Amino acid sequence: MAQKKYGMVIDLKRCVGCHTCAVACKLENNVPLGMFWNRIETIGGPHMDTPKGEYPYLEMSHLPLACQHCENAPCVKVCPVGATYKAEDGRTLIDYERCIGCRYCMSACPYNVRVFNWQEPKKIPSHDVGSADTPQRKRGVVEKCSMCEQRTNKGELPFCVESCPQRARHFGDLNDPTSEVSRLIRERKAERLLEDKGTKPQVYYIR
Amino acid sequence: MPRKRIINAWTVTLGILAVIGIGAWIYQLTQGLVVTGMNNIVSWGLYITSFMFFVGLSAGGLIVSSSATVFNIKQFKPVAKPAVLLSTVCIIAAALLIVVDLGTPERMLNLLLHPQFNSPLIWDVIVITVYLVISLLYLYHMTRPNPNEKSIKILSSVALPVAILVHSVTAWIFGLQIARPTWHSALMAPLFVASALDSGLALLLVVIVALNKFRLFNVPKSLISTLAGLLSVFIAVDAFFVFSEVLTALFPAEERLMAYINQMLTGSLAPFFWGEVILGALIPFMILIFRKNRENMTLVVLSSVLVVMGVFFKRIWLLFSSMLLPLLDYAPGVTLGKYNLPVSFRTGREVVPNIWATLGSYTPSWVEITIVLGVIALITLLYTLGAYVLFTPKQEEHSHTQGGEGHATQSHAY
């Protein structure tokens, strides 16, 4: 078996913009207040959940947006201390103990999915949430989606995939032609974001 | 007497400003970068702007002074000492500005322990360190009682390419980023070197006129006029690069790129863009192309100050033109990352702070401004002390302590 390359396929035809995955991510990964690792964008309108176009020709669609786990990751290239790295299984991960907080990766990311702990991580109520082995992050480091490393390392699904009520999210090995994600990419018209930037995201969208 | 008093007052003021700056940094260390104006969209701000600016100021002075030795331009040699000292203190400022920008400065050693040589930031760490060492060596060799011409020649031959490289690498930190449309350009490094040349030389002119005034160092007026002429050429080169860069972006009128360019031409960055074009390039160029004006020290200083200011403006529009607009600009946008309950929380009027934005905005906080001013004060202080110690010949200093002040450097004509 070839090396694993984890990826995700998000079926935008199924997505209803309910924000469940965003909230699930925030809980599982103990993401502090003021930031999201996974957020739901509304395509077209000026505000959240506003449609595109003019009445009666309205159209509303959503775009869940988190780290794209690019194969050709600009953030990995610029990190001066190797805190951001490509894991063996193709995920783009951060070593939170090594990050020096220079935020070069945030400048390098075309998707604006990296968030920084500008202040002491704030939570209401103040205790930690999520899995027991969710990585801890402190003030002054960059953080982002890890495809729930604490879960996927144990063979579980990322929490956003598991919690999506519409079953719009799929997770699997892109190198395995028999996996569900590979099948979806093959059979449906799968696109990637900002493909012209050549970053080769491992998150695919089906429109 | 007044000269001495002015120098003392100047030194004390700088010392106080530097201490205030350090205080502000300590405050930032206790609170985190939340006390700055930066957020998840505009994730770099005044610190990185000033960092670019100081690398440029540093490189410019050294390029001029080392080419004097490398190309044996005897005429320029007198400015070598003040120029190298200027380069040294400016590169120290640049390094300090990187340190204050870090989220976890206590892990700074990771740069040495786990360097990732793919990163332009590591290239910059290496080249800045080399540059600082060379500047110090250069300075040491030049200010020895009997300078060894050969070692100065060798050092300057190394210093010249390193000076060009130090600013090119700084340009590549930005220019190699595919995610940032207004940075991602092959012209970035030449553009940075051009701005280094004009801003660095302009600052050097201001400094040597000041040194002359306070009799800390003597540079013939004719040389200042010649350097001012060179400055006008550098301004033209810089303006040419900017024009070429903007035209290349503007002509295809590609929609996305136009959104970025319009911020500079008509949007929130317009005061800085047009400020640079008019105040930083056009006016000083129009002043300095006339020989008569170049002989007038007031006009030379005025033009130089305008050039330095113009290049600072350029750093601002360059950095922020790419940072304000996320490439994916869907609503509700990006989470800003700061969360502080408003005072009205208890009264129930505004329950939660807004954490979203589709468009970046940034205003430097008082902490950022104070720290940057502190850094500037610190290096100016270093320069003043350096000038006092290094440029005053030993025997004269001796007589100076014996026979009162005021004449210490008058006969100094290196």
pLDDT tens digits for range B164-196: 999 999 999 999 999 999 999 999 999 999 999
Distance from CA of B180 to the nearest CA of A (A): 7
Partners of B335 on chain A (C-beta within 8 Å) are 34-36, 39, 115
**Alpha carbon distance B222, B239 (integer Å):** 26
The reported pLDDT for the residue numbered B28 is 97
The reported pLDDT for the residue numbered B142 is 87
> Per mean pLDDT, which range of A111-115, B42-46, B328-332, B349-353 is the poorest?
B349-353
Nearest chain A residue to B122, by CA: A80
Domains, chain A: 6-206 (3.30.70.20)
pTM higher than the cut 0.90: yes
- Among A47, A55, A26, A64, residue whose Cα is nearest residue A144: A26
The reported pLDDT for the residue numbered A44 is 85
Partners of B331 on chain A (C-beta within 8 Å) are 41-42, 45-48, 50
Q: Give how far Cα B185 sits from Cα of A151, B173, B189, B195, B213, Å.
A: 41, 11, 9, 16, 42
CATH code, residues B2-325+360-403:
1.20.1630.10
Distance from CA of B120 to the nearest CA of A (A): 6
Residue B354 has pLDDT above 90, yes or no: no
The reported pLDDT for the residue numbered B67 is 85
A142 and chain B: CB distance < 8 Å anywhere?
yes
Residue B340 has pLDDT above 90, yes or no: no
| Phi and psi angles of residue A70, each rounded to the nearest 5 degrees, phi first | -55, 140
- At residue B403 the predicted structure's pLDDT band, cuts being 50, 70 and 90, is very low
Contact flag A80-B323 (C-beta cutoff 8 Å): no
Residue B365 has pLDDT above 80, yes or no: yes
Contact flag A107-B43 (C-beta cutoff 8 Å): yes
Nearest chain A residue to B322, by CA: A107
Of B107, B327, B335, the CB nearest to A39: B335
User: Average pLDDT for residues B2-25, to the nearest whole number?
Assistant: 93
**Nearest-5° angle of CA A81, CA A87, CA A89?**
170
The reported pLDDT for the residue numbered B344 is 65
Nearest chain A residue to B105, by CA: A100
Residue ranges of domains in chain B: 2-325+360-403
Nearest chain B residue to A76, by CA: B119
Contact flag B330-A41 (C-beta cutoff 8 Å): yes
Distance from CA of A157 to the nearest CA of B (A): 25
- At residue B348 the predicted structure's pLDDT band, cuts being 50, 70 and 90, is low
The reported pLDDT for the residue numbered B43 is 96
Partners of B111 on chain A (C-beta within 8 Å) are 80-81, 100
| Interface TM-score (ipTM) > 0.90 | yes
pLDDT tens column, B135-158: 999 999 888 888 888 888 899 899
For a pLDDT cut of 70, what percent of chain B falls above it? 92
Of A34, A65, A140, the CB nearest to B33: A140
Distance from CA of B273 to the nearest CA of A (A): 21
**Alpha carbon distance B84, B204 (integer Å):** 10
A112 and chain B: CB distance < 8 Å anywhere?
yes
pLDDT tens column, B375-399: 999 999 999 999 988 887 654 444 4
In the A/B pair of chains, how many CB contacts fall below 8 A? 175
What are the pLDDT tens digits along chain A (207 aa)? 579 999 999 999 999 999 999 999 999 999 999 999 999 999 988 899 999 999 999 999 999 999 999 999 999 999 999 999 999 999 999 999 999 999 999 999 999 999 999 999 999 888 999 999 999 999 999 999 999 999 999 999 999 999 999 999 999 999 999 999 999 999 998 999 999 999 999 999 999
Distance from CA of A3 to the nearest CA of B (A): 24
The reported pLDDT for the residue numbered B215 is 83
The reported pLDDT for the residue numbered B345 is 64
Of A34, A48, A108, the CB nearest to B355: A34
Beta bridge mates, A59: A52
Contact B293, B299 (CB under 8 A): yes
**Alpha carbon distance A169, A21 (integer Å):** 9
Residue B401 has pLDDT above 50, yes or no: no
The reported pLDDT for the residue numbered A70 is 97
A102 and chain B: CB distance < 8 Å anywhere?
yes
Partners of A102 on chain B (C-beta within 8 Å) are 98, 101-103, 121
Of A32, A42, A78, the CB nearest to B121: A78
Distance from CA of B34 to the nearest CA of A (A): 5
> Per mean pLDDT, which range of A11-25, B20-34, B215-229, B285-299 is the poorest?
B215-229
The reported pLDDT for the residue numbered B404 is 39
Residue B410 has pLDDT above 70, yes or no: no
Distance from CA of A1 to the nearest CA of B (A): 30
Contact flag A101-B334 (C-beta cutoff 8 Å): no
Residue B400 has pLDDT above 70, yes or no: no
Here the tokens at position B377 are 């004060």
The reported pLDDT for the residue numbered B413 is 38
